[in-house]
Amino acid sequence: MRGFTGGRRSAYRCRKSDQTEAESPCSRYLHKVLCIMMHVSVTGKRATVLKVVPGRDLDATLVRSWTEIQLSNPELSSPYFAPEFTRIVAMARDDVQVAVISEDGQPVAFFPFQREEGSDHMVGVQVAYPISDFQALICKPGFTFDPLELIRECGFVTYNFHNSLTSQRVFTPFHQSLHPSPHMDLSQGYEAYAREKRASGSNLIKSCANLARRIEREVGPLRFVAHSGDPELLRQALALKSK
């Protein structure tokens, strides 16, 4: 299991008045200084380095490495785990950051997060909290690490995770409860998904079809548009949601 060298012994929670924590590199980053962590001790001769970069500063090389890692791990298929999602949120927030773990100069894991408002930036949460549904370390299957050391090196006194993947068992000791996460598996197309739901005895597809007919009857024609970039449609959706 990877563990980051240097600094004091890690702790899941520590006092905000702790002088060492207040003088950490990540605290200085909050004053617009880039936080760069140094070497990590691992087995063998592999040199592992962790650095924290602003989400909006993810360059093409890091995005490409992130995407390759995401595609290698079926557990990370959700768009919430894509580098584009983090970059988009970082365009609206300046507290979105990414911890990049590299081995022998090559990125092997990414840990996107943002700092919780009103916590002196010492509490970490998932990117786009609370609207994002999943959070995890972006890594290949079987990758191991020390979560306490990771959190410490990111400069947190606490990291609040709400929808962490149970497959990343290094976080298991810190779980409070387990719940199934609803999702739609559209990897084989919508019709295959609909057939599977009907075969399982679910009335979901039938109910949605009834609602669609009601919308067309009371409002007008209904159509589905994927990945629309029309800002006017977004404004209309927000206006309807605010009513």
12-26, 33-47, 70-84, 141-155: the lowest-pLDDT one: 12-26
What distance in Å separates the CA atoms of residue 172 and residue 183, rounded to the nearest whole number? 22
Mean pLDDT of 112-122: 80
Identity of the highest mean pLDDT range in 41-45, 47-51, 70-74, 168-172? 70-74
Task: Delimit the CATH 3.40.630 region(s) of the chain.
Answer: 3-174
pLDDT digits (tens, 9 = 90+) for 183-216: 788 889 989 999 999 999 999 999 999 999 999 9
What distance in Å separates the CA atoms of residue 33 and residue 17, rounded to the nearest whole number? 21
For 61, the 3-state DSSP assignment is helix
For 122, the 3-state DSSP assignment is coil
Mean pLDDT of 158-184: 85
pLDDT digits (tens, 9 = 90+) for 20-45: 333 333 333 333 323 333 334 443 44
Task: Please report the pLDDT score of residue 235 as a whole number.
Answer: 93
Mean pLDDT of 46-55: 84
For the cut 90, the answer to whether the pLDDT of residue 139 exceeds it is: yes
The per-residue b/e assignment along 197-223, b for 16 or more CB within 10 angstroms, e otherwise, is: beeeeeeeeeeeeeeeeeeeeeeeeee
- Confidence category of residue 46, pLDDT binned at 50, 70, 90: low
What distance in Å separates the CA atoms of residue 115 and residue 160, rounded to the nearest whole number? 10
Cα dihedral sign, 66-72-74-75: negative
Please tell me the CATH code under which domain 3-174 is placed. Answer: 3.40.630
> How many C-beta neighbours within 10 Å does residue 108 have?
19
Task: Tell me the H-state helices in the chain.
Answer: 19-22, 25-29, 60-72, 83-92, 147-153, 190-199, 204-218, 231-242
Task: Please report the pLDDT score of residue 222 as a whole number.
Answer: 92
Whole-angstrom CA distances from 29 to 23, 35, 41, 165 are 10, 5, 24, 29
Task: Please report the pLDDT score of residue 157 as a whole number.
Answer: 87
117-126, 164-173, 217-226: the lowest-pLDDT one: 117-126
Rg of the chain on CA atoms, in Å: 21
Is pLDDT larger for residue 148 or for residue 65?
Answer: 65
Mean pLDDT of 119-127: 82
> How many C-beta neighbours within 10 Å does residue 29 have?
19
Is pLDDT larger for residue 148 or for residue 100?
Answer: 100
68-82, 175-189, 211-225: the lowest-pLDDT one: 175-189
What distance in Å separates the CA atoms of residue 209 and residue 197, rounded to the nearest whole number? 13
Minimal CA–CA distance to 112: which of 121, 167, 185, 129? 129
